[in-house]
Amino acid sequence: MAPENVKDIKMRIIHMTQIYDLLQMTSLIEFYINSEGKQIDATSRRILGANGNDEELIEHSLKTRWCVETSVCSTSNGTCTTSINIPLNCPTSPEYGYDDEFMRSEIMVLTTAAQNENPQLCFNNQLPTMKLYQVRTVNCSTEYNDVTCVGYTSFDTKRKVISISFKGAHGQDQIKELTNYCMKYGLESYYSVTNGKIFKVIQDYFLLLWNGGMQQDLRNLKYKYPSYELWVNGHSLGSSLAWAASAWIVNIGLYKPEEMKVVVMGASRMSDYNWAAWHTKTFPFNFHILHRSDPVAHTPTFVPSTNTTLFFPKTEVWYNNYMRQGDPFQVCQEADVFFQMILIILLLGILPGLSIAQNCSSCVSSGNSWCVESSQCNSTFVACKTLISLQLNCPARPDPRYAYDDNFMRTQQLALAAASHTTKPQLCFE
């Protein structure tokens, strides 16, 4: 999948009006894109070691690249507009073909059922031979009583399948905690099969569910149905938990990768390069499905606390439409569509917006530049990749006296705007 051209783009501000729980935190997400599209890749970081600074990493990663247009390895970009500098992004096709009907009629039912207190109700309508085994719910927060993690196990004697499914995030508190903890605690390694790392908060969430009954449930089902295939799936936060589960299950030797189907939807990046590369190589049936408007897939790709660039494992399936029955899709041959750019997202509902806005405004008005990563004026922070030099681009909320009113916009302003497209506006008013 070709990434959008960022050559002349300094900044894009995208208003998202249908971002379910994320809207409770902020009505504006600002995307700052490095105009040269240079990425600090994990391969370079591993070669140079943890002490290598970002300028050295960028210089190293640009030494040799594969040019997609010419199919030539080069030390110079020249006229090449799409270049690759990490192995994970080399175009490859998945071992198993993608089946849109299978995903819609079976996997979608399993992931959607996780949102229901009684998943069996979904099975009865769509997958009558699938039977619920156990639902597990745990409080996975030390700060909020309403933050829970949910997963369930099920089995199908007709399909000869055991399934383990995870629910997505719900509520402002859980989204706030996830975002804060990802940035605060960063990534850690938990495996004997790979030195790759995932977000600590994701592994913590998963282990609370795993040790809260899901492990025993899965072992019971495997004991009863030892030859059955294991399906691992989830949506949003559930996708991260599903990825963590798949890795852990293989790590402890409960299932072999070839006995599993891993499919997630609306996933966010949750791992470093080594983990993504290992997961890609390990699981032959491994898809993550993304819709063009899914905000979760556009979460930060760089974690300053652990100096880590985040990656997707393969294989991504991209729906650049409404995902109706029969709509086209693209099976991406690269691991990550953002491999040519650095994408940093400022969530104004999480960052101390007012003080940052004031400091940024003062800094820029004096002729200096504000560093987003370090929140400093004229910062010497080596990982600073996003500089603000215009006062208008300093993060700021709208005047609190004039909060955005969706109902007002829909029932009045939208009617006025729509009326301008007819020769008789009064007909719309009536």
The CATH classification of domain 100-331, taken from the options 3.30.70.260, 3.40.50.1820, 3.40.50.720, 3.40.190.10: 3.40.50.1820
Lowest mean pLDDT among 9-13, 158-162, 246-250: 9-13
pLDDT higher at 277 or 46: 277
What is the Cα–Cα distance from 61 to 348, expressed in whole angstroms?
32
62 band by pLDDT with thresholds 50, 70 and 90:
very low
> Does residue 45 carry a pLDDT above 70?
no
Query: Residue 359, exposed/middle/buried by CB under 10 A (0-12, 13-18, 19+)?
Result: middle
* pLDDT for residue 274: 94
Q: Is 157 helix (H, G, I), strand (E, B) or coil?
A: coil
The CA distances from residue 24 to 228, 231, 394, in Å, are 41, 32, 22
Lowest mean pLDDT among 10-19, 76-85, 379-388: 10-19
Lowest mean pLDDT among 86-95, 178-187, 282-291, 368-377: 368-377
* pLDDT for residue 76: 63
Q: Report pTM.
A: 0.66
DSSP 158: T
Lowest mean pLDDT among 106-110, 215-219, 239-243, 306-310: 306-310
Report domain extents, the chain.
100-331, 360-393
What is the Cα–Cα distance from 40 to 366, expressed in whole angstroms?
31
Q: Is 357 helix (H, G, I), strand (E, B) or coil?
A: helix
> Does residue 82 carry a pLDDT above 90?
no
In the predicted model, what is the mean pLDDT of residues 276-303? 86
**CB-side neighbour CA atoms (13 Å) of 352:** 7
8 band by pLDDT with thresholds 50, 70 and 90:
very low
In the predicted model, what is the mean pLDDT of residues 364-378? 76
In the predicted model, what is the mean pLDDT of residues 123-149? 94
* pLDDT for residue 68: 73
> Does residue 199 carry a pLDDT above 60?
yes
386 band by pLDDT with thresholds 50, 70 and 90:
confident
pLDDT higher at 341 or 270: 270
Q: Is 90 helix (H, G, I), strand (E, B) or coil?
A: coil
* pLDDT for residue 409: 85
Omega of the bond leading into 315 within 30 degrees of 0 (cis): yes
In the predicted model, what is the mean pLDDT of residues 309-329? 91
pLDDT higher at 201 or 77: 201
* 8 Å CB contact between 165 and 238: yes
* pLDDT for residue 10: 27
**55-64, 189-198, 416-425 — which one is most confidently predicted on average?**
189-198
> Does residue 6 carry a pLDDT above 60?
no
* pLDDT tens string 327-360: 999 998 888 654 333 333 333 333 334 445 557 7
What is the Cα–Cα distance from 108 to 104, expressed in whole angstroms?
5
Mean pLDDT for all residues in the chain: 78
In the predicted model, what is the mean pLDDT of residues 104-122? 95
* pLDDT for residue 392: 86
pLDDT higher at 183 or 18: 183
- DSSP labels for 188-218? E---SS----EEHHHHHHHHHHIIIIIHHHH
Contacts of 342 (CB under 8 A, 6+ apart): 33, 34, 37, 38, 39, 40, 301, 302, 385, 386
Number of other CB atoms surrounding residue 234 within 10 Å: 28
**48-52, 145-149, 183-187, 281-285 — which one is most confidently predicted on average?**
281-285
> Does residue 260 carry a pLDDT above 50?
yes
**30-34, 112-116, 161-165, 322-326 — which one is most confidently predicted on average?**
161-165
* pLDDT tens string 217-247: 999 999 999 999 999 999 999 999 999 999 9
Side chain identity at residue 78, one-letter code: G
* 8 Å CB contact between 151 and 136: yes
* pLDDT for residue 300: 66
* pLDDT for residue 17: 27
* 8 Å CB contact between 252 and 190: no
The CA distances from residue 213 to 206, 208, 244, 292, in Å, are 11, 9, 16, 35
- In percent, the amount of the chain with pLDDT more than 70 equals 74
